[in-house]
Structure 1
Amino acid sequence: MQPPIPIPDQIGTVDLASWAVVPGPSNVDKDEHGAWAVTAGDEEQYALYFEVADAAHPRQVAEFIVEAVRAHATRLRLSAAFDDILRERERLRTHPAGADLYELDRSRVVAMMAQLGELAAEAYEPASASEQDAQTQRIYDEVTHLAALAVSWLEAIHARYGADGA
């Protein structure tokens, strides 16, 4: 039985590295003009599978689809991450100490490096199955916080020295 026709929401739920182009079952000789399939998920039980057969160059069409999906999903993930960083940056700016956000002193860099070290320790500490989601959320929140600080410092450098940092 073939998996159902994919829907856009599945793009983010299947590991992008698992997306592949394979010869269709009727294309045992791997003919460039035979049927080629786009697959995603475990090879034993694909989460997504569809064939490209009625095209002048089915393999090239299938490869284009895989690359387009990977690029689109990457842009969506980056956009979501940057949105979270900008929200945290705005939260930090409204904090009473927000004016210090743009200070470029050594103590702030040392504090950030200490936070990064604590984050690394937590990331490599195994969590129980019931605690994994909470641990992942804590790590994500901390990385978002550190990224917001870094972006604020970059803004301060741009403001003081120009867009090229020199």
Structure 2
Amino acid sequence: MVMTMVNPVPASEQIGTVDLASWTVVPGQSNPEKDDHGAWAVTAGDVEQYDLYFEIADAAHPRQVAEFVVEAVQAHATRLRLGAAFADVERERERLRARPPGADLYEGDRARVVVMMAELGRLAAEAYEPAPAAESAAQRERVYDGVTRLAALAVGWLEAVHARYGIDDG
């Protein structure tokens, strides 16, 4: 199998900045007839001028190889992002556990749930309200931090359900 890189080989950091939804498989430049056994390319980024483009050629099934690459990259990036999100929630959960004695994080009473839902609505409204360019990074950080806190509180609620009803891992 031969991979022909039209652009220089991207670094891992560059791959992570390209929207995963934009990764696709297209016929290679030398395969305008879309022959399954001709060259197929993995592309990502802007369709007008790809941020990433490389062709799979001289393989028994180049289109299938290209599709495998796209699926593998998307699955790997999804696992990395999910792992990072869970790690952030876990750190916030530990921070919340360090609260003063008497603060019952496992209590999922009605008032706390209502407050959590209201906060979720506020964060959703903020997330979809365009901010001025100078404020957008701070807005993203506020929303991310708020959602992380809510997720940590929701995990505490799940822990309370497990503790209260004896739900096990099975």
The normalised TM-score by structure 2 is 0.91
Residues 1:98 and 1:65: Cα distance change in structure 2 (over 3 Å): farther
Q: Equivalents in 2 of 1:97, 1:121: separation in Å?
A: 34
2:56 aligned with 1:52, yes or no?
yes
Aligned length: 165
Instruction: Give the conservation status (yes or no) of the 8 Å contact 1:35–1:59.
Output: yes
Q: Equivalents in 1 of 2:135, 2:156: separation in Å?
A: 32
2:24 aligned with 1:20, yes or no?
yes
Q: Equivalents in 2 of 1:107, 1:59: separation in Å?
A: 55
Give a deviation string over 1:20-73, Cα, whole Å, max 9, x none.
Answer: 101111111111111101010111211111111021100000000000000000
The normalised TM-score by structure 1 is 0.93
Q: Equivalents in 1 of 2:89, 2:75: separation in Å?
A: 21
| Greater CA drift, 115-124 or 52-61 | 115-124
Where does the alignment leave 5 or more consecutive residues of structure 2 unmatched?
A: none
2:108 aligned with 1:96, yes or no?
no
Residues 1:54 and 1:163: Cα distance change in structure 2 (over 3 Å): farther
SS of match in other structure, 2:142? helix
2:164 aligned with 1:150, yes or no?
no
TM-fit CA distance, 1:98: 7.0
The correspondence of residues 25-104 of structure 1 with structure 2, limited to 5 A, is 25-96=29-100, 99-104=103-108
In the alignment, residue 14 of structure 2 is paired with which amino acid? Q
| Greater CA drift, 22-31 or 7-16 | 7-16
Q: Please name the residue that 2:144 is paired with.
A: 140
Where does the alignment leave 5 or more consecutive residues of structure 1 unmatched?
A: none
2:10 aligned with 1:9, yes or no?
no
2:128 to 119, 124, 128: 124
In the alignment, residue 16 of structure 2 is paired with which amino acid? G
2:136 aligned with 1:106, yes or no?
no
Instruction: Give the conservation status (yes or no) of the 8 Å contact 1:3–1:46.
Output: no
Give a deviation string over 1:102-149, Cα, whole Å, max 9, x none.
Answer: 012111111112211221232233210110010010000000000000
TM-fit CA distance, 1:97: 5.4
Q: Equivalents in 2 of 1:69, 1:97: separation in Å?
A: 45
Instruction: Give the conservation status (yes or no) of the 8 Å contact 1:5–1:49.
Output: no
Aligned CA RMSD, in angstroms, stands at 1.8
